[in-house]
Amino acid sequence: MIFFTGFLVGVVSLIPGISGGTILVLMKKYEQVSLAITNFKKKENKILLLFLILGIFLGTITFARIVELLFYFIPNSTLILFSGLVLFSIPDLIKAEKIKPNYFWFIFGIVIICIISCISSQPVTVITEYPKITLLFLILFAFFGMIDGFFTILPGISGSMIMMIIGPYFLYKSYLANLNFQNILFCIPLLCYFLGDICGFYLGSKVSLYFLKKHHKKFMSLVFGMVIMSAIIILPISSMQLNKIIIYIIVFLLSFIICQILNLFK
């Protein structure tokens, strides 16, 4: 199950607006993974994290091209599907936590996502020319990966959205989508990015685990606000076509069915 969770984290890490940490929370694996990272020396934790990282890696590599094609051919339906997956998973998450939300931190979480979304709104960019691979570029790209990993583990905040704010998101996604034997050199910047990603993942888990232990109710209220707003804000309301409303409804219902199936494996 931890491998499957990692696979989902790898897939959604490509989607601006949905956090990998959100998937860990929704799959009820967040605290387990955070504890495993902070107690890395234990053998069982090393095995757990190995399967998680392997799942993330395969999920990212496998779906990079698929996600790019989905957004190219059916962008609205794709966004609705991902949004529905998050929204329909929230009731089960709230039930599992068994806490009353702190409304101040809940609203604060909503505000944070709104601000990030406003800053990150920019047109989709297609990469046609790649930068020259130098030592400075690789160090910088690894640093971007660390930032991505730090925010990916934090539930509610999309690492991809942060990458869109600071710039390298489209380059990273293009490297993944076009990785093949002809472009084997793409492995070099991607390896640096993944190494940075792991370091950021570790730092982010330490920060979030601290707040889970010391301020659990406030932190989870913040998370709920961020998760709900992340799912709502990626809905393509302004670009929806009325003649396709039935398709959108079917896709939304499909996300509900997928959530029910996933609940059977939890």
DSSP 100: -
User: Can you tell me which residue has the tokens 């990626």?
Assistant: 234
Map residue 215 onto helix, strand or coil. coil
Measured CA to CA, the distance from residue 219 to residue 229 in angstroms comes to 15
The amino acid that residue 62 corresponds to is: T
Contact 120, 234 (CB under 8 A): no
Measured CA to CA, the distance from residue 34 to residue 28 in angstroms comes to 12
Residue ranges per domain, the chain?
2-264
Phi and psi for 131 in degrees, rounded to 5?
A: -70, 155
CA quadruple 17, 10, 266, 248: dihedral positive or negative? positive
Question: pTM here?
Answer: 0.72
CB atoms within 10 A of CB 11: 23
What pLDDT is stored for residue 156 in this prediction?
63
Phi and psi for 88 in degrees, rounded to 5?
A: -75, -15
What pLDDT is stored for residue 192 in this prediction?
95
Task: Dig out the tokens for 243 from the structure.
Answer: 């003649």
Contact 64, 177 (CB under 8 A): yes
Contact 164, 120 (CB under 8 A): yes
One digit per residue, the tens of pLDDT, for the chain of length 266 reads 788 888 888 887 777 666 787 778 777 787 788 888 777 778 888 899 889 888 988 888 888 778 777 877 888 898 898 888 878 877 776 776 666 778 999 999 899 888 877 776 555 555 667 889 999 999 999 999 999 888 888 766 778 777 877 778 888 888 888 887 778 888 999 999 999 988 998 888 888 878 878 888 888 888 788 878 878 887 888 788 888 899 999 999 999 998 888 677 65
